[in-house]
Amino acid sequence: MTTVAETSSAGVPQWLRWLLPLALVGVMAGVLTFLDPIGWLREAPPIESVAIERTVLEEGHVRLSVRNDGPDPVTIAQVLVDDTYWNFTATDSQLDRLEASTIDIDYPWDEGLPLTIGLVTETGVVIEHEIEAAVVTPQPDARILGIYALLGIYIGVIPIAVGLLWWPALRRAGDRWIAFFLAFTIGLLAFLLVDTVAEGLELSAATGSALDGLGLFAVGAALAVIALSAISERLPKGAGKAGLAFAYLVAAGIGLHNLGEGLAVGTALAVGELGLGTSLVLGFALHNTTEGLAIVAPFGSNAKRPAIRHFIALGAIAGVPTIAGAWMGGFAYNPAVGAVAFGVAAGAIAQVVWQIATSRPGMLSKGLGPLGFVAGLLTMYATGLLVAA
């Protein structure tokens, strides 16, 4: 039965009145596209832009995943490899806006040497793509997957687990020192936030303009904030439970950051730009160990020890995403995916920082709070120097 509130005075259903403005906008857009009233004003040549989203190198073979990144259609007419025209095949040489294609080139490239590829359009525009050091792209077989997983365990899982061992010491600390370590956690997360935003903006710039990398980063961040806000509203607030709830929030924020960290490492390995020697792996491990301390700091002092299953879950939430990120970076990476991933990480970390900072008003301005905040920043900076590449 239709109520008065659901039907207008003219007998039009309320839901139809909501859809009417959207329908009118759709009609207007269709008419404007069909008539193209300003198209005749433009006498300039078409704007051609192609984004190269992924490069796969095999022995004597190069495969490019490309996308039309401009407003006008693009036709790939020829391919230059190291300033020499070379035969190629493409799934589609004529690309409309946002249309993607795969280009295959049989070329005897030399391992370790730079490689320059130019896509020549029908109008003569050359879109260049440079590979700093040509190496075979790893294929996702069991052995390579295992190596990437082991790397993620060494970089993310083990350091987090080691950091969780600070819990017995924190349990006996006084309230002043708990405030210090909570502020330390905020400083640590604030450093991660700045680092994550910087990485995300860099990937946003590398994303094709048609896909709007900055918009993808912002959407990812907003979704993370909304999701964690909704989760935090449903977490237990009772005595002895609030600290555990905060610990899970911190672990989630750190885990999303470590997803991005694994993504960066996996990508670097795939393109041969990073030699992950033992010293660098140890540097990553030391850098991430402090994150375990940040996870257990919200428990507070003199609290009942949480069940072992919680420590296992916290370590997994914070550390295992490093493995997933390494796999994603090595085998299914493109800048748009990276922009979204780092946006999600940035939003999650920002939300966790806000939750902790507001849990104890004035924590960062009195007692040992300011010292803890600065100590968190400096610790992350100092250990970050070990992994600078």
Contact in structure between 48 and 66 (CB atoms under 8 Å) = no
Q: For residue 158, how far is the Cα from the chain centroid?
A: 22
- Whether the pLDDT of residue 7 is over 60: the answer is no
Q: What pLDDT, on the 0 to 100 scale, is given for residue 320?
A: 92
Average pLDDT over residues 17-34: 79
Most confident of 129-143, 167-181, 228-242, 315-329: 315-329
CA distance 377 to 389: 20
Which spans in 131-241 are helix H? Answer: 142-152, 158-164, 167-171, 175-206, 213-234
Q: What pLDDT, on the 0 to 100 scale, is given for residue 352?
A: 84
pTM of the entire predicted model: 0.71
Q: What pLDDT, on the 0 to 100 scale, is given for residue 239?
A: 46
Average pLDDT over residues 332-338: 79
The set of residues, in sequence order, having a beta carbon less than 8 Å from that of 181 and lying 6+ positions away, is: 170, 173, 293, 297, 372
Q: What pLDDT, on the 0 to 100 scale, is given for residue 212?
A: 83
Contact in structure between 356 and 184 (CB atoms under 8 Å) = no
Q: Which has more pLDDT, 282 or 229?
A: 229
Q: What pLDDT, on the 0 to 100 scale, is given for residue 156?
A: 86
Q: How far is CA 354 from CA 71, 74, 233, 347, 364, in A?
A: 41, 47, 13, 11, 12
CA distance 312 to 168: 16
Q: What pLDDT, on the 0 to 100 scale, is given for residue 101?
A: 93
